[in-house]
Amino acid sequence: MPDMRKKYLEEVRKALAEKLNIANVMDIPKLEKIVISTGISSDAERDSFTEAKKHLGAMTGQEPVITKARKNVSNFKLRVGMQTGVMVTLRGSRMYEFLDRFVHNALPRVRDFRGIPKTGFDGVGNYNMGVKDCSVFTEVDADKLKYPLGVNIAFVTTAKDDASAMELLRMMEMPFEE
């Protein structure tokens, strides 16, 4: 069992129930999934998709999917079926392992890190943030990066509002800025 999952089950659930005054165990907020994605411009070279797929796979330990355009957008010279990015959805133990590596290994390697911003909440309990350079992850070799690769990370929770989601993430050791 991953350390973060054990922490959630043994400590965080009880503390959240007390702090948020929740009587029903099923109403306690929890992490549902983590979605890591990156967009790649249509002008980029073809091998940029395979490289992004390789690096996202190394970061997450799971095979990423190449996303394709669903409709035509003439301003971006985008046609249906063109490749637009790479994404991976983590659930279960891989999600908790990624969260542990992200909080304890990747975030401390960010230059001039003062905490993650509190402005990434969407109003219904989910949190989105961007990492400008994926080389902060120890699994990605910075020397082998041909193209700069930034990723968007979405933490999807079962919380009903931003305050309870923030409390959940804070108890899961996410370092929010003061």
Q: Which residues contact 166 (CB under 8 A, 6 or more apart)?
A: 118, 121, 127, 176
Q: What integer pLDDT is reported at residue 82 of this predicted model? A: 84
Distance of alpha carbon 29 from alpha carbon 14, whole angstroms:
11
Segment 72-101 shows an average pLDDT of 90
| pLDDT tens digits for range 123-132 | 999 999 998 8
User: For the chain, what are the domain ranges?
Assistant: 3-171
Q: How much of the chain, in percent, has pLDDT values that exceed 70?
A: 97
Looking up tokens 């948020």 gives: 20
Looking at residue 43, its pLDDT comes to 65
Look at the domain 3-171 and name its fold. Answer: 50s Ribosomal Protein L5; Chain: A, (3.30.1440)
Question: What is the rounded distance in angstroms from the CA atom of residue 145 to the CA atom of residue 141?
Answer: 7
Q: Which two tokens stand for residue 89?
A: 């959805």
Question: Collapsing DSSP states into helix, strand and coil, what is residue 88?
Answer: strand
What is the pLDDT confidence band of residue 5, given thresholds at 50, 70 and 90?
very high
Average pLDDT, the chain: 88
